[in-house]
Amino acid sequence: MHCVTAPGRTGIVRPTRSAALALAIILTLTIIAGQTAQAQTYTVIHDFTGGGDGVYPYTGLTIDAAGNLYGTTIYGGSGGSGVIFKLRRGGTGWVFTPIYSFAGGADGSVPQGRVAIAADGTLYGTTSAGGSHRCDCGTVFHLRPQPYAPRSALTPWNETVIYSFSGVDGNLPQGDLTFDAAGNIYGTTVAGGLFNWGAIYKLTPSGGGWTESVLYSAREDSNGFEPHGGVVLDASGNLYGVFQFTRGGGAGTVFELSPSGAGWTEQTVYSFTGIGNDGGDEPIGGLILDAAGNLFGTTLYGGTFPPGGIAFQLTPGGGGWTYQTIYSFLNGDGGPEDKLMMDGAGNLYGTAFSAGAFGWGSVFKLTPSNGGWTFTSLHDFCADGFLCSDGARPMSNVVIDAQGNLYGTTTGGGANGNGVVWEITP
């Protein structure tokens, strides 16, 4: 199993088939119409100290229209329970600002999902623990800049907990949040729900607050359980996501939730077998949806060269879906742990936890070519593991700016062993 640690700290155990429940750290892919990036220069733009700037940026980044980057760390900060940070360009480098430190308790702790940018520029996100209930089941929060000019760049943003989970309505929220046109929020919890195997939920603005409803409670059955990575929403209002497991040690599924009368109907889009060329085994990274309605995702294990993981595509047609494995990862004991990202030319980007030339992870690109896909490693993290100054063990998504620069995080490595934020420039 994966356990990312540094000296003197207990790491979070990564999902394995033997674990009844594991904390998942997975985030969103945003499809951005931009330039195709070509790797030329890899640069660490922030090296976490483990103090006020946080420690272990397990989740990836979110980028706004101005090119500012937002991210999270699961520990550290003034309260020790995690940090939300912002990186903006300043001069020839980057300026790092912690915009909120979680205090734990009712405030929430251990943020394990990317922050989402709302239409008004404010941020929404989740913490996997904390909240106002005894179960410590996690929260959904809202972050807003100060309404006045701050006295210092270190002045924190205002945080409001808009929902605290109690268990039956969800437990351990993680992954990306998704907004619909009406401003409703959709997300996933790894545990909780009516049967304690995870929930798909919706938050609706109501009377100045928010009302939560459980759209689907997972069971330990062949449909799948333990939903990861959030959901994506198509033009017809259907939701798509992944379950990590199925009953009897199954390899997981891709699911669809469709509005049906006053409720929602769940159906399985694809069931992974975990063997052979279909490669699917534990899809924890979530999905992306392109303009043509194709779904793309990853699995942590399986593939032609197990246990390296895969990237896959599901294409709609004829009332069903056609599955294709587009790449099987080599090396290591685990592949991508987060979503892919697609640029305007249709290329896919991501990170793999323990792939690469040295087995400490890689940043990769998949290019459509003659009906197939061509793999390119954009960066292989160095052979010294957590002593690598360039970082190690990436679990994040990749984001791209208007100039074609790529950005992401690693869970460890760097000068202090606490993880880094990196940039790859064309």
- Residue 321 pLDDT: 96
Report the chain's mean pLDDT, rounded to a whole number.
88
- Residue 304 pLDDT: 78
Residue pLDDT, tens place only, 328-343: 988 666 889 999 999 9
Arithmetic mean of pLDDT, 311-318? 94
Report the b/e string of 140-155 with b at 16+ CB within 10 A: bbbbeeeeeeeeeeee
* 47, part of any domain: yes
- Given a cut of 70, whether residue 138 has pLDDT beyond it is yes
E-assigned strands of 272-404?
Answer: 287-289, 295-299, 310-317, 320-328, 341-342, 348-352, 362-369, 372-380, 399-400
User: What's the pLDDT band for 13 if we cut at 50, 70, 90?
Assistant: very low
Arithmetic mean of pLDDT, 21-27? 29
- Residue 332 pLDDT: 62
Measured on CA atoms in the order 63, 244, 324, 354, is the torsion positive or negative? positive
* 233, part of any domain: yes
Q: Which amino acid is at 325?
A: T
- Residue 324 pLDDT: 93
* 176, part of any domain: yes
Burial of 333 (0-12, 13-18, 19+ CB in 10 A): middle
Number of domains in the chain: 1
Arithmetic mean of pLDDT, 343-347? 96
* 394, part of any domain: no
- Residue 154 pLDDT: 65
Arithmetic mean of pLDDT, 262-279? 86
**Calpha distance 412→420 (Å, rounded):** 7
Burial of 231 (0-12, 13-18, 19+ CB in 10 A): buried
**Calpha distance 35→224 (Å, rounded):** 37
- Given a cut of 80, whether residue 9 has pLDDT beyond it is no
- Given a cut of 80, whether residue 151 has pLDDT beyond it is no
- Residue 345 pLDDT: 95
Arithmetic mean of pLDDT, 6-25? 34
- Residue 4 pLDDT: 33
Arithmetic mean of pLDDT, 355-374? 92
CB atoms within 10 A of CB 194: 13
Q: Which amino acid is at 381?
A: F
Residue 371 or 176, more confident: 176
- The number of angstroms, rounded, from the C-alpha of 130 to the middle of its chain's C-alpha atoms is 20
* 388, part of any domain: no
- Given a cut of 50, whether residue 48 has pLDDT beyond it is yes
Residues near 335 by Cβ (< 8 Å), separated by ≥ 6? 298, 299, 300, 301, 303, 307, 308, 309, 310, 329, 352, 353, 354, 355
CATH number at residue 275: 2.120.10
- Residue 37 pLDDT: 43
Q: Return the minimum-mean-pLDDT range out of 23-37, 73-87, 90-104, 242-256.
A: 23-37
Tokens representing residue 94 in the block: 């980057």
Q: Return the minimum-mean-pLDDT range out of 18-22, 220-224, 279-283, 342-346.
A: 18-22
- Given a cut of 90, whether residue 91 has pLDDT beyond it is no
User: To which residue do tokens 């043509």 refer?
Assistant: 292
> Terminus-to-terminus CA distance in the chain, angstroms?
35
* 181, part of any domain: yes
Parent domain of 85? 24-335
* 276, part of any domain: yes
* 404, part of any domain: no
Residues in the chain: 426
Residues near 27 by Cβ (< 8 Å), separated by ≥ 6? 59, 60, 113, 114, 175, 176, 229, 230, 286, 338, 339, 396, 397
Arithmetic mean of pLDDT, 106-113? 95
User: What's the pLDDT band for 201 if we cut at 50, 70, 90?
Assistant: very high
Residue pLDDT, tens place only, 186-195: 999 999 999 9
Residue pLDDT, tens place only, 295-313: 999 999 988 766 789 999 9
